[in-house]
Structure 1
């Protein structure tokens, strides 16, 4: 097909992940049931025991179970993790208790990834709060309205079976091929391939929403992801030529031509940004210049509602070169730029800095205005005019944002400024 004529799929698919809800479940075909959640849970029915793909978060597990049970009462014999994130593994203990002898299968990097997640549990929960606290509060109320008040705890499970590259199973006549793709989303990412039906369950291999530029470094705090590994993961799925992808979020992606076009754009778009960043580094350009200059060509259009090209450029730059940008000797010491806020305010005067920030905003330079306001608010956090103008700047940036993470961050900052 002519890939330049494609209509990018991200335009017609939602971006934001949402938690499991009672009744939000559907039968995909005669043997697959999908329960949507922070990450989708899939039930693969077979002539024997069924296969569960992912378990949701601990608090979601009973909701997923009730949803799936409304479509199928078959016992579950296997649970497969597509990756080790908490929204994929957290409900495992709940399902183990329901189905004694349940065999849990994961890629061999799973234990390392869960260990990494657990080491930073407090930091990550606090860091990601701006994006999810309101959502968790709302879903808690909704669950209580359905009589679900004794929330199931989060599990950090140990898989029963680990594999490196490939594991082939036959479960009740259903061929299930597990293929390791470590590093694309997590160090234990895998795909579930059903060759008899040409269906591929990818989890969040290509990021949270399908059809978007990969989120190579999340602002909630996570390890860098290698752009080359992400591109190779797309090639791995392309080589299978699936007719359907059951994704980690939202509805299935259907049609071999659509899948081929989207994964080709994802692969080539990721490689394009990688190569342009490397070229710019070798030309001696600084990272922020490259963040401004590099964009995807039209034929490789991807959504930027989850990952952003500019963030990807910085991630690639720092993945290769580390945190030292060689812009100032001060980068090598533990005294940051905030340490001289008071000096700048004393020398220039807070009102004068706020006035200049207003001029920057009026000239449509909101980012520069924010730098100036941060100086004043770093010294005098209750400066009324600075807070008022900072709110206007954040509102302007919010109106321009099409990215989930950026939008939620800006809304959080607006709430703090209002309080």
Structure 2
């Protein structure tokens, strides 16, 4: 019997709606006088001046093709500068659409290194991204990635400033963003900051310090320092990769809470490490007080505990013991365990007991063994489907990465299951 997966979708996830919000957009959104937005997988902003315009982020290749026409509707000026707030494809993917001999691309000095890393792991990262985002983004990787590499013309360090058409632009390095080359664009006269994905896609949520996609991890303290750098500017408006955040008091309150919450998680994790606690214990025990709680649609407290633990200690997990040092995986003994248990189906039956007791993770541990021993076991496949759905129900499906991972696991069961 095929395991249907129709019930798991991206519906109701804020990030999914934001990413999809550019579909059908045919007019630029004016977010402030002379500052226009084209929405997409990552928003692009056109800042206009009498002497030419500044583009902040090019978007994906597909978004840029639409965005260029949208921006042409509000300005006939040439684009003089293109500023990249980080080195992900939803910032640089459409560079070739906007780049001309008469404009300069500005990025942080680490940007070429970040791009070299991205090219080296392109297949790995595309595979990871598609597993999570394929239900959310339309098109294929060819619609996101550029057809040719466009190098940065101006590489900056901690700070860079220029004036164009009477508008002053200041660029600040914020290495705690989603990439080490992250920048914020500060318009001091207007007190507006364009920050890309410094916070991730959602303001007021926990950052995702180390995504399931397989990126390099972000450092907790660098993230805190980068948010503090923005906060010290006292912006009255913050334009992110997806949102328009307004009000100095609101921004000060929320950035302060973000800083305090991530600092609290970091400090309790370090304290627990020094006390000899293992990583999974800390993932369970480190829970911020209610006044510091942030939303968990993109990042999660437990994942940031884990990211901080590994940031400081590296890959070896002493709690896993000697076998963690070697290349023989737990699945190597799955056939022996299944044999002792009376077969994969017996393990699956016991897993279903865990499901009935409301313990889906314990069930999945057993089912990993059962399916490693006998990948074609329909009993184990069906039990895994039940365990995954219970897990989704218990977690509420509120976190994008968690929900989409479970959906991808159910999809894999659909693909492996024989039809009716």
| 1:221 and 2:214 correspond | yes
Cα offsets for 1:358-389 (capped at 9, x unmatched): 11111111111000011111111121111111
Is the 2:68–2:97 contact (alpha carbons within 8 Å) kept by the matching residues of 1?
no
Match of 2:390 among 391, 396, 400: 396
Do structure 1's residue 15 and structure 2's residue 38 form an aligned pair?
A: no
TM-score w.r.t. the length of structure 2 is 0.91
Q: Is the 8 A contact 1:109 1:182 kept in 2?
A: no
Q: CA deviation at 1:317?
A: 0.5
What's 1:146 paired with? none
Q: In structure 2, what is the equivalent of residue 414 of structure 1?
A: 410
SS of match in other structure, 1:305 = coil
**Residue of structure 1 in register with 2:275 after alignment:** 283
Does residue 37 in structure 1 map to residue 40 in structure 2? yes
| Residue of structure 1 equivalent to 2:31 | 28
Partner-residue secondary structure (3-state), 2:81: strand
Contact persistence 1:241–1:256 (CA under 8 A): yes
Say whether the 8 Å CA contact 2:177–2:197 is kept in structure 1: no
Distance in 1 (CA, whole Å) between partners of 2:167 and 2:143 is 36
Aligned residue pairs: how many? 396
SS of equivalent to 2:390: helix
SS of 1:268 mapped into structure 2:
helix
Q: State which of 233, 251, 255 in structure 2 corresponds to 1:259.
A: 251
Matches for 1:1-400 after TM superposition, within 5 Å: 14-16=14-16, 17-18=18-19, 20-23=22-25, 25-96=28-99, 99-136=100-137, 138-139=138-139, 153-249=146-242, 251-327=243-319, 328-349=321-342, 350-399=344-393, 400=395
Deviation of 1:130 (Å): 1.1
Higher mean displacement: 164-173 or 350-359: 350-359
Instruction: Please list every run of 5 or more consecutive structure 1 residues that lacks an aligned counterpart in the other structure.
Output: 1-11, 141-148
Shift of 1:161: 0.5
Do 1:358 and 1:369's aligned partners in 2 also have CA atoms closer than 8 Å? yes
* Worse overlay, 67-76 or 344-353: 67-76
Between 1:377-386 and 1:272-281, the stretch displaced more is 377-386
TM-superposed CA distance for 1:13, in Å, is: 9.4
**Structure 1 residues 154, 252: closer, same or farther in 2, change over 3 A?**
farther
Indicate conservation of the 8 Å contact 1:58/1:155, yes or no: no
Q: In structure 2, do the counterparts of structure 1 residues 67 and 397 end up closer, same or farther at CA, with 3 Å as the change threshold?
A: farther
- Worse-superposed segment, 286-295 or 349-358: 349-358
- Are the counterparts in 2 of residues 341 and 376 from structure 1 also a CA contact under 8 Å? yes
Seen in structure 2, the aligned counterparts of structure 1 residues 132 and 240 have a Cα distance that, compared at 3 Å, is same
Residue 7 of structure 1 aligns with which residue?
none
| Pair 369,258 (structure 1): closer, same or farther in 2 beyond 3 Å | same
Provide the secondary structure at the position in 1 that maps to 2:134.
helix
Distance 1:151 1:71 in 2: 25
The 3-state SS of whatever aligns with 1:15 is helix
Q: Give the Å deviation of 1:102.
A: 1.0
SS at match of 2:32: coil
Q: Alignment partner of 1:128: what SS? A: helix
Kindly provide the CA deviation profile for residues 277-311 of structure 1, in whole angstroms up to 9, marking residues without a partner as x.
00000111110000001112111121111111100
Contact 2:86 2:196 in 1 (8 A): yes
Matched residue SS, 2:55: strand
Inter-partner Cα distance in structure 2 for 1:151 and 1:286 = 40
Write out per-residue CA displacement over residues 248-293 of structure 1, whole angstroms, 9 at most, x where no aligned residue: 11x3000001111110111111100000000000111110000001
Q: 1:248 to 1:325 in 2, by over 3 A?
A: same
